[in-house]
Structure 1
Amino acid sequence: MTALAPLNQLISRFQEQTPIRASSLIITLYGDAIEPHGGTVWLGSLISLLEPIGINERLIRTSIFRLTKEDWLTAEKVGRRSYYSLTGTGRRRFEKAFKRVYSSTLPAWDGSWTLVMLSQVAADKRKQAREELEWQGFGAISPTVMACPRGDRGDVLATLQDLDVADDSIIFETRAQDVLASRAMRLQVRESWKIDELAQHYSEFIQLFRPLWQALREEDQLRPEDCFLARTLLIHEYRKLLLRDPQLPDELLPGDWEGRAARQLCRNIYRLIYARAEEWLNRNLETADGPLPDAAESFYKRFGGLN
């Protein structure tokens, strides 16, 4: 238990999940804390780091084994110790997902759209294609047409090729137009991207972490371990939110969009506690060469700059 009541509540909330999503939390830890420091750590130090969150050694070992089988992690034996790092595939997955977490701003939108027509795709493959495109920020504007205001043709084509449906799909790119969305456009966006549901998830995130922000600001001397636990749970919950968020341009979102407040809150907490959390990581994580290497320069560019 920590001295911060809101942090204890967040830890208890994580432990009450059924089942506990240990694998997902380990991926968060690698992306947020381990990868910036070279990407490789001893399994024993990983176990001691995560036990205060309520993940026992057996569950961590099982999760690490599963992540290795799924090509997220790879192991290297040095004597009797095992050191785990992200695979090349795992690193590419991580970079794609975490880039959205730490970016300071989204690129400006010029009013253009990417459309993918799936009417000629077999029904059994169409559902999978829709799901994969939704992960990339597409929304369904009809049962067979997906649309995205930020679609990258190269990424879309690669996805369709991986699913073996590229030859049966049609990709359109519209010209840039007035970025001010009409009433009809806003209603369509709300329907196709389930904006109200996403706003509710952001509101829940704010309700969860605002008390933590207040408690951290009032604390005279922040404990490194508390900062590490808070930072890990903060990014874990925020990352899960962003997986659902298509990152639509501001022009298409409600004026009181909760996602903006959630991002500001996440950034504020992270900037406040990251340095003390780094102290705890340096004290507890171990590589085959000994102490943890210094964080890469790119780490300090997160959220528009940490220093």
Structure 2
Amino acid sequence: MEDDDIPDTLPHDLRDDLPVGLSDDLPGTSDGGTPQLRPQSLMLAFFGNHVLDEGDLCVYSGSIIDVLGRVGVGEQAVRSTLTRMVGRGLLRRQREGRRMYFGLTGQATRVLEDGRTRIWREGAVNDDWDGDWTLLGFSLPESRQRDRHDLRSRLAWSGFGALYSGLWIAPGRVDVAAVVAELGLTAHVKIFHASADEATDIGLMVRDTWDLESVAARYVSFDKRWTARPAAGPGEDPLATRLLLVGEWLRTIRADPRLPARHLPPDWPARAAQDTFRRVAEQTAAPAADLAHALLETAPLR
């Protein structure tokens, strides 16, 4: 493929109203119960797996099209997603002759590093809660609905739940000031760190503030699907498997505020699902990296 100019217009079905730096999955599931991940989710998984740790590199668009084609994303969807992510400040493009290459921006690097922290450093089980909470209050007029949506989405990713409509709460000491500043909402937000009075029933508050059944169901679904799925062997594509694995795991933990384990049901399924994720991730890491190294055409990012 030559002359890789990416069109500047997006088909309506690829537009979304999600905050900069995040994506979500399509509603419903495909045949067999596999979640339908948005191309942007898979794109972020691709760059996080194969570009983030490689320094200042950019990847030829044809290589990206080939890799995402392995997980069922069509060429036009890849091209449109690349354009959208450039427009949202997540990717930068660079022409080399007649070819177009794409690399990470500083903003995308922060998003991917945050995701890596959630996956590998923090994990899905919060055994270390010290009793502190972070409270965030905000007030935005009706005319700023997009700003409210972006803030709520970023707060949910950071582990917050709506205690009341304009008052959100998260376990632990969450450094959310940078997120608020990035959205340009510092003047509209107040942040506090506090502990609950003994009169507060924390277990009840947790059940009222977060949809525990929905979060648990995602972990159960993930664990069941990936326990039954072979991660390696003849006919398996480790690159595609790892992209789907990471994309779905990020989808799963995005819905999880990492609530204190002591205030969750004793059979909370996050630990089993995390064990399954890490087992398949370990099995696919080296084969996927070797295949990506052989397939990807890259160039230094200027």
Q: TM-score, normalised by structure 2?
A: 0.76
**Structure 1 position 173 matched with structure 2 position 173:** no
CA distance in structure 1 between the partners assigned to 2:141 and 2:225 by the alignment? 40
- Whether the aligned pair in 2 keeps the contact of 1:112 and 1:176 (CA below 8 Å) is yes
**Which residue matches 2:167?**
145
**Structure 1 position 28 matched with structure 2 position 39:** no
Report matched runs for 1:202-213 at 5 Å: 202-212=219-229
- Whether the aligned pair in 2 keeps the contact of 1:15 and 1:54 (CA below 8 Å) is no
Which residue identity is paired with 1:270? A
3-state SS in 2 of match to 1:53 = coil
Q: Is the alpha carbon distance of 1:177 and 1:37 closer, same or farther for their aligned partners in structure 2, counting shifts above 3 Å?
A: farther
Q: Which runs of 5+ in 2 are unaligned?
A: 1-28
Q: Is the alpha carbon distance of 1:122 and 1:64 closer, same or farther for their aligned partners in structure 2, counting shifts above 3 Å?
A: closer
- Whether the aligned pair in 2 keeps the contact of 1:113 and 1:150 (CA below 8 Å) is yes
Which residue identity is paired with 1:116? L
Residue 119 of structure 2, aligned match among 91, 101, 106 = 101
CA distance in structure 1 between the partners assigned to 2:82 and 2:127 by the alignment? 36
- Whether the aligned pair in 2 keeps the contact of 1:110 and 1:176 (CA below 8 Å) is no
CA distance in structure 1 between the partners assigned to 2:274 and 2:34 by the alignment? 25
Residue 44 of structure 1, aligned match among 62, 72, 75 = 62
CA distance in structure 2 between the partners assigned to 1:253 and 1:32 by the alignment? 32
RMSD: 3.1
Task: Using the aligned pairs only, state the percent identity.
Answer: 29
Q: Which runs of 5+ in 1 are unaligned?
A: 1-9, 290-307
- Whether the aligned pair in 2 keeps the contact of 1:47 and 1:57 (CA below 8 Å) is yes
1:75-120, CA deviations, whole angstroms, 9 ceiling, x for partnerless residues? Answer: 11111122211111111122222321222655722111122344xx
CA distance in structure 1 between the partners assigned to 2:154 and 2:30 by the alignment? 32
Q: CA deviation at 1:249?
A: 2.4
Q: Greater helix percent: which structure?
A: 1
Q: Is the alpha carbon distance of 1:270 and 1:104 closer, same or farther for their aligned partners in structure 2, counting shifts above 3 Å?
A: farther
**Which residue matches 2:273?**
262
Q: Is the alpha carbon distance of 1:114 and 1:92 closer, same or farther for their aligned partners in structure 2, counting shifts above 3 Å?
A: same
Q: Is the alpha carbon distance of 1:14 and 1:123 closer, same or farther for their aligned partners in structure 2, counting shifts above 3 Å?
A: same
3-state SS in 2 of match to 1:103 = helix
**Structure 1 position 83 matched with structure 2 position 101:** yes
**Which residue matches 1:201?**
218
Q: TM-score, normalised by structure 1?
A: 0.75
1:47-74, CA deviations, whole angstroms, 9 ceiling, x for partnerless residues? Answer: 2222222222222122211211111111
**Farther-moved stretch of structure 1 (161-170 vs 76-85):** 161-170
**Which residue matches 1:273?**
284
Residue 71 of structure 2, aligned match among 29, 44, 53 = 53
CA distance in structure 2 between the partners assigned to 1:33 and 1:12 by the alignment? 28
**Which residue matches 1:299?**
none
CA distance in structure 1 between the partners assigned to 2:160 and 2:109 by the alignment? 24
Q: Is the alpha carbon distance of 1:27 and 1:169 closer, same or farther for their aligned partners in structure 2, counting shifts above 3 Å?
A: closer
1:235-268, CA deviations, whole angstroms, 9 ceiling, x for partnerless residues? Answer: 0000111211112222222211111111110001
Corresponding residue pairs, total: 265
**Structure 1 position 110 matched with structure 2 position 127:** no
